[in-house]
Amino acid sequence: MRLAVIAGDGIGPEVVTEGLKVLREVAPDVEPTHYDLGAMRWQRTDELLPDTVLDELRGHDAILLGAIGDPSVPPGILERGLLLRLRFELDHHVNLRPARLFDGVTSPLADPGPVDMLCVREGTEGPYVGNGGVLRKDTPQEVATEVSLNTAFGVERVVRYAFERAVTRPRKHLTLIHKTNVLTHAGGLWSRTVEEVSAEFPEVTVAYQHVDAASMFFITDPGRYDVIVTDNLFGDIVTDIAAAVTGGIGLAASGNLDVSGTNPSMFEPVHGSAPDIAGQGIADPTATVLSVGLLLEHLGRTEQARKVNAAVAFDLSTRSPQGPVRTTDVGDRLAALASG
Amino acid sequence: MRLAVIAGDGIGPEVVTEGLKVLREVAPDVEPTHYDLGAMRWQRTDELLPDTVLDELRGHDAILLGAIGDPSVPPGILERGLLLRLRFELDHHVNLRPARLFDGVTSPLADPGPVDMLCVREGTEGPYVGNGGVLRKDTPQEVATEVSLNTAFGVERVVRYAFERAVTRPRKHLTLIHKTNVLTHAGGLWSRTVEEVSAEFPEVTVAYQHVDAASMFFITDPGRYDVIVTDNLFGDIVTDIAAAVTGGIGLAASGNLDVSGTNPSMFEPVHGSAPDIAGQGIADPTATVLSVGLLLEHLGRTEQARKVNAAVAFDLSTRSPQGPVRTTDVGDRLAALASG
Ligand SMILES: CC(C)[C@H](C(=O)O)[C@@H](O)C(=O)O
Ligand SMILES: CC(C)[C@H](C(=O)O)[C@@H](O)C(=O)O
């Protein structure tokens, strides 16, 4: 397995080290190549993602990413120039974010009940395209725009993927989240696409919710959701709500998938570089390890993925609740469990 | 007080009746004029908001709105043609949404702590402008766009209002919520505006959070917020999260303010028309009564507003938790309490 590793900034390298530790236990054939990208490289060289590096990345089976971001860099530079550029150039149109409340994990909700949802967030369109601009900057007449682009091609492929996942799950339920009553242009495309594709999946029941209503139900009744499909921006928000109710961003894994297989998919914890705790060895690497689980699943290494996920589930069920975490301890424990 | 009343659809008329009951107790000089707008009128006459009606509305001191919406009407028709048209035509640039956890109210959070935030949502710009379109509809080449419009004029006035509110509150804290690392064009305008206006309010401390991070903190640590300022779409989402953690949409009040006073401001519960429970007399009118409180405050009737808010606070602190609600009982109790 040729694996490109972008450890990145802040706690990125710390959690990636543990992710690789666990990965090596279950997949001894992994050949990691490290790429130095992120805030430090940009500070040093002004480079974000050189084309030659992008080309090299394309030659791998998958990418493992830690975290990108540093307070010394103005907002948008690293996000648009590196993280989002990777997602867009590598056509990561499915941003996959499971949210499951593991046994032993404390939810901030008083009575969460069982939660096991799979958010399928579109990854290459919507308001994330960077379209828009600024006119008369820094004057009282300034106008700034952001354009959300949505194509039948882009919406259809992510909706189809969501149905394909839903049909394999026990509840076979899919919820579209959008804001069709206000964003009528894009909302119409999303609604019609879900309706059309649903005809091919008669076993899947379909629901629709406005993003504001869904944001409430994620809190008052998260157990009602099975698979969710939504656009890039709404997905950014609701997956963080889902992460919060299932124990926080320390456990939230994600995969940026090019489902066609043309480009390597990229796996990353949902959390950021957390500069406030970087270097202290107290970042929870669990989200990275779960992202490794998604990576293995994506590569069809089902048994290896099962081992990683089972290790995490067992570890969480026996961890002292909300106790302090030592990054390397968690990694050591998970590696030992996964190898067993 | 010349009050225009738009009871609207579903539970709208039920909750508005109780809101007026309470209002009459504290403000006997209220002269309500009822306007028949909403799904029924549209079904009957194809009319949403005739210009003559809009002109008449302008002649009032304030507007009380129940709820608009019915499943028989395609998404967007009533929202864009009536509710949002009112907000835009009457220049309701401040959408004010307090979220306070009242004593006696059960939060879905295990340990919410005290919550008392004031969300100031922009009301006349952003992705709500209806800008955008659809090309090659119903073909595999369909493209749909939504344009978020943000102007220095529009952002500055709502940011200024938020600072003006923050400076009068004990904590004097303001949080800007946006997504400046992705929506760099609009995000830049919002960030710079907050920075500029903050110079006039040196007592107010300012924080910034991305909308995804804020959506988590609303759940894990809602007590940290005081005043929030954000754009129209982010405001739609985070105010529903705030409503959820403070006991649900049955208690969430809102005011759509034209701060300049040129047009009447409009007050409405955040909840919708709830067709599933309409006609059963079980809708909680508390959000409408709290909206009446906001209305009185806006008209400078501070003592009348205090009575309404105190009635609600007392009633909530003595209500049987999560018990069933009878719409008229709640209204009767609140009217009696407010008059006392
Ligand atoms: C860092 C940022 C660009 C990114 C996003 O908005 O997608 C992050 O919030 C995420 O969810 O992965
Ligand atoms: C009904 C809808 C147009 C409206 C909005 O999105 O503003 C509602 O959700 C609200 O928050 O008042």
Half-sphere exposure of A337 (CA within 13 A, CB side): 21
Domains of chain A: 1-93+262-339 (3.40.718.10), 107-246 (3.40.718.10)
Q: How confident is the model at residue A321 (pLDDT cuts 50, 70, 90)?
A: low
- The ligand with the least distance to the CA atom of A270 is 1
**Does position A64 have pLDDT exceeding 90, yes or no?**
yes
Residues with Cβ within 8 Å of A271's Cβ and at least 6 positions away in sequence, in order, are: A11, A67, A249, A250, A252, A287
Binding site for NAD(+), residues of A? 272-284
Looking at residue B324, its pLDDT comes to: 77
> Are the beta carbons of A148 and B139 separated by less than 8 Å?
no
Q: Is B68 in the pocket of ligand 2 (CB under 6 A)?
A: no
Burial (CB count <10 Å: 0-12, 13-18, 19+), residue A261 = exposed
Say if the Cβ atoms of B145 and A141 lie within 8 Å: no
Among this protein's residues, is B226 annotated catalytic? no
Please list, in sequence order, all residues whose beta carbon lies within 8 angstroms of the beta carbon of residue B217, skipping any fewer than 6 positions away. Answer: B209, B224, B225
Has B283 been labeled as part of a binding site? yes
CA pair distance A31, A261, nearest whole angstrom: 19
Find the radius of gyration of the CA atoms of chain B: 20
Q: Are A195 and A178 in contact (CB under 8 A)?
A: no
pLDDT at residue A33, rounded to an integer: 98
Q: By C-alpha distance, which of B77, B82, B61, B109 is closest to B7?
A: B82
DSSP, residue by residue, A212-259:
HHHHHHHHH-GGG-SEEEE-HHHHHHHHHHHHHHTT-GGG-EEEEE-T
B221 lines ligand 2 (CB under 6 A): no
Active site residue A212: yes
Other CB atoms within a 10 A radius of the CB of residue A331 amount to 22
Residue nearest to atom 12 of ligand 1 (CA): A270
Alpha carbon nearest to ligand 2 atom 11, residue: B236
Please give the pLDDT value at position B321: 62
Q: How far apart are CA A7 and CA A4, in angstroms?
A: 10
- The pLDDT value recorded for residue B63 is 98
Is the pLDDT at A209 greater than 70, yes or no? yes
- The pLDDT, as a whole number, for residue A275 is 94
Along chain B (340 residues), what's the average pLDDT of each consecutive run of 10 residues?
A: 98 98 98 97 96 98 97 93 97 98 96 98 98 97 98 98 98 98 97 98 98 97 98 98 95 97 97 95 97 98 98 92 84 95
Q: Do A237 and B237 touch (CB under 8 A)?
A: yes
Taking the centre of ligand 2 as the mean of its atom positions, its distance from the CA of residue A182, in whole angstroms, is 8
Q: Is the distance from CB of B258 to CB of B90 less than 8 angstroms?
A: yes
pLDDT of residue A117: 98
Residues of B in contact with A136 (CB under 8 A): 152
| Residue pair A32/A20 in contact by the 8 Å Cβ criterion | yes
- Pick A185's closest partner by Cβ from B133, B138, B213: B133
Q: What is the per-residue pLDDT for B18?
A: 98
Q: Is the CB of residue A254 less than 8 Å from the CB of residue A294?
A: yes
pLDDT: which is higher, A281 or A320: A281
Query: Is B236 a catalytic site residue?
Result: yes
Catalytic residue among A36, A103, A212, A329: A212
Tell me: is residue B70 an annotated ligand-binding position. no
Q: Are B190 and B183 in contact (CB under 8 A)?
A: no
Q: Which residues of A208-233 are buried (b: 16+ CB within 10 A; e: fewer)?
A: bbbbbbbbbbbbeebebbbbbbbbbb
Distance between CA A62 and CA A1 in Å, rounded?
8
Query: How near does any CA of chain A get to the CA of B29, in Å?
Result: 37
Which chain A residues have a beta carbon less than 8 Å from that of B241? 215-216, 219, 241
In terms of DSSP bridges, do strands A132-135 and A143-151 run parallel, antiparallel, or are they unpaired? antiparallel
Q: Tally Cβ neighbours within 10 Å of residue B193.
A: 22
Q: For ligand 2, say whether the CB of A182 is within 6 Å of any of its atoms.
A: yes
Tell me if A216 CB under 6 Å of ligand 2.
Answer: no
Identify the pLDDT of residue A322.
62
Between CA B62 and CA B267 the distance in angstroms is 8
Who wins on pLDDT, A143 or B322? A143
The answer to whether residues B229 and B174 touch, using CB atoms and an 8 Å cutoff, is yes
Query: Which residue carries 């206006």 as its tokens?
Result: B197
